[in-house]
Amino acid sequence: MELNPDLTKLVFEKNDLKHEVYNSTRDAFELFRNTSHKIIDLFREQKQATGRTTPLSFTDRGDFEFEISFASDVLIFLMHSNVFEFSRDHQVMKSNYIREDTKRSYCGVIHIYNFLADSFTYQRDNDLGYLIGRVFVNRENHYFIEGKRELGMLFNNFGTSVITPESVQQIVESAIEYTTNFDLLTPPYDEIKVVSVGEMRTNFDKKSMVTAKRLGFRFQSDTD
């Protein structure tokens, strides 16, 4: 019995490609982790120098997750352990960068989520968070971001954008800026005018009433 040599080549080469992408994404994630930690430390220095009371923290949650907390917000960074390819209809597949080498379309993904700090402090399990950006990294350390405003508009040139300490700092700072400007709005009156006895008994309990920055509002697309 012999294996089809084309099949052997396919399996080995695809595995090698995905391994390279995974390593590049992992290196990028560690750079995000270290940079975010340094940014929080710099905020702490400014806090002490100015006598501010703003809560600040960095929390490491293992190989694939960490979070930073500032004022009333939390950003959670998650790296997916798998490698993905874009669909044929995705905009990046039409770029010259991908057309020159289709292997460049294989990417690892780092997700950036925004939550309210109080959601964790008071264990409000039903509160909502938002994916404000996801960072795609290929084996050449090129990246682009799908995301909201500052992130999606500033970091979308896959062919020229490369993961560096400077670019990662800019991404993290832009995520903090967007999050800080993305304020908690009062939900529409009609969304909360009726409350059940159970909800009242549990007291708008941390686990029964939902709080989110845009509860009851349409969360607009990247270009809005």
pLDDT digits (tens, 9 = 90+) for 134-181: 999 999 999 999 887 666 566 678 999 999 999 999 999 999 999 998
In this structure, how many other beta carbons lie within 10 angstroms of the beta carbon of residue 12?
A: 10
Residue 193 CB-density burial (10 A; 0-12 exposed, 13-18 middle, 19+ buried): exposed
pLDDT digits (tens, 9 = 90+) for 58-112: 999 999 999 999 999 999 999 999 999 999 898 889 999 999 999 999 999 999 9
In this structure, how many other beta carbons lie within 10 angstroms of the beta carbon of residue 90?
A: 13
Q: What stretch of H or E contains 111?
A: strand 106-116
Q: Quick one: DSSP state of residue 59?
A: E
User: CA–CA distance from 110 to each of 15, 81, 117, 149 (Å)?
Assistant: 20, 9, 21, 17
Cβ contacts of 218 within 8 Å, gap of 6 or more: none
Q: Quick one: DSSP state of residue 91?
A: G
Cβ contacts of 221 within 8 Å, gap of 6 or more: none
Q: Which residue carries 């059940």 as its tokens? A: 196
Domain ranges of the chain: 5-184
What does the mean pLDDT of the chain come to?
Answer: 85
Between 57 and 187, where is the model more confident? Answer: 57
